[in-house]
Structure 1
């Protein structure tokens, strides 16, 4: 996972938490739900990047052992 991807995902998750908190504070259920959705999207992106990294590491290990 590149540093840019990590930063982008962390930013999206942070903004999602802020939206959720603001939505909760103002009794805006729609905004709170949107914040939770943003956080979930960031988590899914993180998971996808980790799978991609693991696959690349496995490929590299296989190539070294040829």
Structure 2
């Protein structure tokens, strides 16, 4: 389960980065903001999983 969540976090971060880059390239501020939000969501998920790993060991 933890590995699945870590992979999901990485996927969210990558999708968010791509969305932000595309939004910036085409001048779409909404898409750029959505990309940043998605990256933040991935960052939060990754932090949560790292915290769980610390307490697991």
* TM, length-normalised to structure 2: 0.89
What per-residue deviation string (whole Å, max 9, x for no partner) do you get for residues 20-58 of structure 1? 01100110001001000100110111111111111111x
Q: Gaps spanning 5+ residues in structure 2: where?
A: none
Structure 2: distance between partners of 1:45 and 1:3: 12
Shift of 1:3: 2.2
1:46 aligns with 2:32: no
Structure 2: distance between partners of 1:16 and 1:5: 16
Q: Gaps spanning 5+ residues in structure 1: where?
A: 58-66
Find runs of 4+ consecutive structure 1 residues off by over 4 angstroms: none
Tell me the matched-pair count.
Answer: 57
Structure 1: distance between partners of 2:50 and 2:44: 10
RMSD: 1.3
* TM, length-normalised to structure 1: 0.78
Aligned to 2:22: 22
Q: Which of structures 1 and 2 has the bigger CA Rg?
A: 1
